[in-house]
Amino acid sequence: MKAKTKAVLISALLFPGLGHFVLKRAMRGCLFIVPTLLAIGVLLRTTLTLADQLVAEIQSGALPLDVPVIMARISASGGDDASTNLASLVLVACWLGAILDAWWLARNQ
């Protein structure tokens, strides 16, 4: 398998920026890896905070153990605020950018 194909597949299927390591461009790959990890951290923190709140409400009896009620509570939680929207945008942009950049770098080597 060619390095170009390997780099694009690794960036597309495993993690954005990892394909750059195949192309011996580690620093450039880190430009995709670091923001992606930060975005995942923000999304994970938001998700775990909401899950912790839901578990506490269910255990206290304030929220019944009923799927439609829990789904309504999740929708009303405001989890789709500016920080999570920005983190999602950064995640998608880094992933697509890493794929395109790995392809472009491999093509021009």
* pLDDT for 56: 95
* pLDDT for 60: 95
- The dihedral sign for the CA sequence 79, 54, 56, 37: negative
pTM: 0.85
For 2-44, the DSSP string reads -HHHHHHHHHHHT-TTTHHHHTT-HHHHHHHHHHHHHHHHHHH
* pLDDT for 78: 77
Kindly state the tokens that stand for 29: 């790959």
CA 11 vs CA 79, 105, 109: distances in Å? 28, 12, 17
Mean pLDDT over the full length of the chain: 92
pLDDT grade for 109, boundaries at 50, 70 and 90: confident
What tens digit of pLDDT does each residue of 50-67 get?
999 999 999 999 999 999
What tens digit of pLDDT does each residue of 15-29 get?
999 999 999 999 999
